[in-house]
């Protein structure tokens, strides 16, 4: 059976989504500043002239792409987390995030290691978007950590995860890279142990 051709609105939506996903892929590997509008359109196999029918500027596209990339990566981690207890589920997330596989495949991973330095340089719009997304991610992790720790634990783990992965990618190809991942995991696990112990002490009569 012959498919009906897409309507103009459907074509626009499909192109819009393609551009957003292409931008998200580029920022994961090249950050926010390096990719140009031409890079996005080339990656999407489209002409540059069509870009401004979707976004007013490169900044508007990449702000949206940053939000989407963060939410898709972290939401997947949280939803896939396995374990019976808060500590077990958080340990699963830490092990997956601070892994060789995640380090070695930035194009499919967290965009923060490639984008953090750009966010501080690019200024208010990106910083505002980033702060809002970190709050959202902290809330998601907080739902898991609830029984053993609050926002301080969650933000500490988040900073350790992103910092550890960033350093591991920056030293990839050297023995130090694996050591950084292992040290970051060990420190995070120790923090979970302490948090769980404190929570159990509070529960004691």
Which pLDDT tens digit goes with each residue over 137-194? Answer: 889 889 888 888 788 999 999 999 999 999 999 999 999 999 999 999 999 999 999 9
Return the HEC string of 58-120. Answer: HHHHHHHHHHHHHHHHHHHHHHHCCCCCHHHHHHHHHHHHCCHHHHHCHHHCCCHHHHHHHHH
Contact 40, 19 (CB under 8 A): yes
User: pLDDT tens-digit profile of 5-30?
Assistant: 778 788 889 989 999 999 999 999 99
Domains in the chain and their CATH numbers?
59-203 (1.10.357.10)
Please give the model's pTM, rounded to 2 decimal places.
Answer: 0.84
**Percentage of the residues of the chain whose pLDDT score is greater than 90:** 43
Give first-to-last CA distance, the chain, whole Å: 70
């Amino acid at each position: 059976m012959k498919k009906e051709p897409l309507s103009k609105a459907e074509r626009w939506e499909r192109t819009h989504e393609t551009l957003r996903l292409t931008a998200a892929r580029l920022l994961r590997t090249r950050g926010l500043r390096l990719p140009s509008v031409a890079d996005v359109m080339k990656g999407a196999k489209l002409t540059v002239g069509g870009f401004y029918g979707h976004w007013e500027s490169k900044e508007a596209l990449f702000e949206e792409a940053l939000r989407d990339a963060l939410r898709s990566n972290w939401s997947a981690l949280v939803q896939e987390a396995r374990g019976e207890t808060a500590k077990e589920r958080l340990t699963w997330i830490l092990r997956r995030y601070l892994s060789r596989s995640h380090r070695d495949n930035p194009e499919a991973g967290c965009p923060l290691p490639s984008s953090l330095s750009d966010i501080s340089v690019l200024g208010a719009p990106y910083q505002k978007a980033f702060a809002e997304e970190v709050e959202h991610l902290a809330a998601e992790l907080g739902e898991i950590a609830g029984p053993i720790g609050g926002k301080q634990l969650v933000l500490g783990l988040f900073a350790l995860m992103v910092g550890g992965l960033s350093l591991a990618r920056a030293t990839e190809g050297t023995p130090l890279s694996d050591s950084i991942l292992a040290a970051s995991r060990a420190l995070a696990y120790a923090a979970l142990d302490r948090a769980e112990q404190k929570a159990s002490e509070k529960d004691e009569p």
